[in-house]
Amino acid sequence: MSLFPVATDKQALEEGDALSPRFDANGLVTCVTTDAATGELLMVAHMNAEALQRSIETGEAWYWSRSRKELWHKGATSGQIQTIVEMRVDCDQDAVWLKVNVAGDGGCCHTGRHSCFYRRQPLGRDAQRDTGFRPLAFA
């Protein structure tokens, strides 16, 4: 039995009040996680139905690790537990937004950084040369 109802039409999906996630062919929705205090984008990950259900029930972020192919209680080993302050879903319900407070040392990225988005790509016509794009800058 599915954990979530399926929206019967576009109106229900976009304007309804039932959480009806549209899981992709791999059974996943995209999850965007931001810092509840600063608004900074911390990470982009994925959830299957069980990860989404556990996140809702426990108020802590659970993901589906695509590399390890297993449920992933973020912070269970590192102490970087993510307490969900607010969860939102987007118009066509294939993406979830978590605003979180991070416990432990406040880190999120497996490289040890606070956010996974620590490199900036220069923009503009100059950004692309014959030999490729101008180098990323560490933020």
Q: Which residues in the 12-41 window bind a copy of itself by CB under 8 A?
A: 14-19, 30, 32, 34, 38-41
| Sign of the torsion angle spanned by Cα atoms 31, 68, 35, 135 | negative
With 0-12 / 13-18 / 19 or more C-beta atoms within 10 angstroms meaning exposed / middle / buried, residue 15 is exposed
- 120 near a copy of itself, rule: CB under 8 A: yes
Q: Are 45 and 96 in contact (CB under 8 A)?
A: no
> What is the three-class DSSP state of 10?
helix
Give least dist CB 10 to a copy of itself, A.
10
State the Cα–Cα distance between residues 116 and 77, nearest whole angstrom: 18
- 136 near a copy of itself, rule: CB under 8 A: yes
- 6 near a copy of itself, rule: CB under 8 A: no
By CB under 8 A, name the binding residues for a copy of itself.
Answer: 4-5, 14-19, 30, 32, 34, 38-41, 43-44, 53, 56-57, 59, 84, 86-92, 94-97, 109-111, 113, 116-125, 127-128, 132-133, 135-139
